[in-house]
Amino acid sequence: MSEETLSFQTEVARLLRLMVNSVYSDKEVFLRELISNASDACDKARYLSITEPAILGDDPDFKVHIKVDTVARTLSLSDNGIGMDRDTLISDLGTIARSGTSAFMENLSGDATKDMQMIGQFGVGFYSVFMVADKVEVTSRRVGDDAAWIWTSDGLGEFTIAEAERAGRGTTIVIHLKEGEDEWLEANKLQGVVKKYSDHIALPILLSIDEAEETAANAASAIWSRPKSEITDEQYTEFYHHVGHAMDDPWLTIHYKAEGKIEYTGLLFVPTRRPFDLFDPARRHAVKLYVRRVFITDEAEGLIPSYLRFLRGIVDSEDLPLNISREMLQTSPVMRHMNQAVTRRVLTELGKKADKEPKAYAEFWENFGSVLKEGLYEDQERQTELLELVRFRSTAGDDLVSLKDYVGRMQKGQEAIYYITGDDLQTLENSPHLEGFRARGVEVLLLSDPVDDFWLSAVFEYDSHALTSATRGAMDLSSLGEEPAKDEAEEAEPIGDSELATLIALVKQTLGEAVKDVRATGRLTDSAVCLVADDGDMDMRLERMLKAHNQLNTDSVRILEINPKHALIKNMASAATKGGAADDMADLAHLLLDQARIIEGEALPDPAAFSRRMATVMAKATG
């Protein structure tokens, strides 16, 4: 097959422009990324050889070779891992087929340093090679294949793919260095970078300059198998960079060895920054499974619950058989035990961090809290532990609060934990449903994550206190104290019961089936009206979400609550009692309902009618 020229995917082309023109000071990360990729390729070939030992042929020992040609000014990195075929070279090096690509591209700022950090966070580290290269050649032969392929690019928008020759399986990357990048031809520089970033990689990295004898550049021992006392913070950080393909530092490091009925070692990291694929619909975790230091898979379903998918790291089992298939992993009792034990350990460590460093924990919560809350409805067994870890915004102030904090400062006579759900904090803070609570000094939790509506359907109480929506059902706040006294003029001439009843009957008759009921409420102090869901009905926000995702095609009819102390309601009641113009009262009734809909963020069913009624009322008020 002749050489074929192809264009990069748009996202890759933009990344490459960043790389080619980068002034990023920490260029040495390109070598770390290439070594990490080579290590992953060797791990995958080793796993495949467990069931197919013949694929290794006469090359059973996995290695990474780094070679320098000072005359040609090239730096080469070669592995004998799983290799790539033509289609894989095109898909892996020419496109970014990952969830979150659009969000990634939208967040690129044009600031080289910030954008380079984002690139590492997104996990496209191969392209960092173009910080030092003006041409890159990738020659690869997939394990089991006879044909090899060469991928070539200068990083300026296109790449070529053609047949090639390679003696055995694996991949060789030849980097043609830019002018001014001669430091990457020096043995001391390369040895220092390998030692700094890749000493923990559990396979030999061999270095040779101008065909000289190869020398070992790393310790080639699994970092997790070493005593914690022998591992520095810097070594932990570099292993996190390797295993997580990340550029941030770990927010939390958990390294322990479990002994007893089932033995395994865990080295897990919580990132500082949120990975871009955190909300990938597949919800896969990124923890690698090893068996006695041999890589098995990075897709061990059941090893880590999906609500801990922000974790990076490894779990190394002493009890699983080396030749276990991925299908058998899903039903293995050893896997189930490790899942339970690892989950318990991670939640315990998060709890310690929350108690000892609440400010640091608040940063973690902003990044990963919405994911951790998924466990409240997915993991009934851990629900109690998770409830101690969740944090909320509330009407009490700007700081995050725990449920324990909330219960500790409940008002006298308060039995329930009150919450309100909505699309964003600002809308929630301005909700009329909170007026009566605020007037009585009662704290309300403000829940703005989409996941909140789902876990609330599975969690009904905390510490024997019911979780109660501030927007559902009739709300009697009298047991929580009286509202503060208002100005005498505002309190003058309270609305009579008969007048109120007349108004309610008129509004109910006018609105008909548009509302489930009309009733007076004590939850409002400043607003005239609000909409609420009946006790047995679906929460209004949850209904909007399900309709937006085409999972619901019906509208629930809501209850319209009116504030009998509001001047507008008083005037309407007086007019209704005196037999005010029917058309005027009908327009006002519909405007009240539309006003309540707008406050809830709902679309008006008939905007034209709303506009007409509003214009009519305004004209009479100014006439």
pLDDT tens string 254-302: 999 999 889 999 999 999 998 878 888 888 898 999 888 877 888 788 8
Residues 578 and 570 sit within 8 Å (Cβ to Cβ): no
- Identify whether residues 278 and 395 lie together within a single domain: no
pLDDT over threshold 70, residue 99 = no
pLDDT of residue 379: 94
Q: Do residues 237 and 345 share a domain? A: yes
Residue 329 covered by a domain: yes
CA distance 305 to 342: 10
Low-confidence winner among 185-199, 325-339, 468-482 (lowest mean pLDDT): 468-482
pLDDT of 108 above 90? no
Encode burial over 201-223: b for 16+ CB neighbours within 10 A, e otherwise. bbbbbbbbbeeeebeebbbbebb
Report the alpha-carbon distance of residue 394 to residue 399 in Å, rounded: 8
Count CB neighbours of 123 within 10 A. Answer: 20
pLDDT value at residue 101:
46
Q: For 365-378, what is each residue's pLDDT tens digit?
A: 999 999 999 999 99
DSSP per-residue letters across 32-51: HHHHHHHHHHHHHHHHHHHH
Q: Which of 171, 200, 218 is the last residue of a domain?
A: 218
Which tens digit of pLDDT belongs to each residue from 289-327? 988 887 788 878 889 999 999 999 999 999 888 767 667
* Cβ proximity of 422 and 448 under 8 Å: yes
Range(s) of the domain holding residue 454 = 391-480
Count of domains observed in the chain: 4
Contacts of 595 (CB under 8 A, 6+ apart): 528, 529
Token duo for residue 331? 């039903």
User: Cα(368)–Cα(278) distance, rounded to whole angstroms?
Assistant: 9
- Say whether both 470 and 552 belong to one domain: no
Predicted confidence at residue 105, as pLDDT, reads 53
Rounded alpha-carbon distances, angstroms, from residue 588 to 42, 527, 623: 74, 15, 17
pLDDT over 60 (residue 346): yes
Whether residues 336 and 414 fall in one domain: no
Which of 156-170, 270-284, 533-547 is the least confident region?
533-547
Strands 286-291 and 264-271: unpaired
| pLDDT, position 163 | 95
Task: Give the domain-ending residue among 430, 454, 480.
Answer: 480
Confidence category of residue 464, pLDDT binned at 50, 70, 90: very high
**Same domain for 263 and 143?**
no
For residue 354, pLDDT over 60 is answered with yes
CA distance 138 to 140: 6
Say if residue 214 is in the same domain as residue 241.
Answer: no
User: Is the same domain home to 153 and 261?
Assistant: no
| Per-residue pLDDT band at 133 (split at 50, 70, 90) | very high
pLDDT of residue 24: 55
Q: Of 240-249, 296-305, 576-585, which gets the smallest average pLDDT?
A: 576-585
User: What's the rounded Cα separation, in Å, for the pair 377 and 457?
Assistant: 8
Please tell me the predicted confidence (pLDDT) of residue 123: 46
- Whether residue 120 is predicted with pLDDT greater than 60 in this model: the reply is no
Does the residue 543 lie in any domain?
yes
CB 338 within 8 A of CB 260: no
Q: Does some domain include residue 368?
A: no
Q: Is residue 381 part of a domain?
A: no
pLDDT above 70: percentage of residues in the chain: 89
Decide which of 108 and 198 is more confident.
198
Residues 421, 456 contacting (CB under 8 angstroms) = yes
pLDDT by residue (tens digit) across 596-619? 999 888 889 899 999 999 999 899
- pLDDT on residue 198: 82
Tokens of 196: 């700094």
Q: Is 373 a domain residue?
A: no
Residue tagged 């007019």 (tokens): 575
Residue 18 domain flag: yes
Of 93-97, 217-221, 313-317, the one with minimum mean pLDDT is: 93-97
Judged against a pLDDT cut of 80, whether residue 16 lies above it is answered with: no
Confidence of residue 247 (pLDDT cuts 50, 70, 90): confident
Domain termination site, one of 451, 480, 509: 480
The answer to whether residues 72 and 203 belong to one domain is yes
Assess whether pLDDT exceeds 90 at residue 342. yes
Domain assignment present for residue 412? The answer is yes
Average pLDDT, the chain: 87
pLDDT value at 580 more than 90: no
232 versus 296: the higher-pLDDT residue is 232
Q: Work out the average pLDDT over 239-262.
A: 91
CATH of the domain at 462: 3.40.50.11260
- For the cut 70, the answer to whether the pLDDT of residue 399 exceeds it is yes
Does 40 share its domain with 67?
yes
Residues 331 and 445 in one domain: no
One-letter amino acid identity for 531? L
Cβ contact 475:436 at 8 Å: yes
Same structural domain for residues 176 and 261?
A: no
Which pLDDT belongs to residue 114? 54
Specify the CATH number for the domain of residue 230: 3.30.230.80
Same domain flag for 87 and 207? yes
Residue 340 lies in a domain: yes
| Ranges 409-418, 468-477, 504-513: which has the least confidence | 468-477
Res 423 pLDDT > 50? yes
Report pLDDT for 350: 98
Q: CA end-to-end span of the chain, whole Å? A: 85
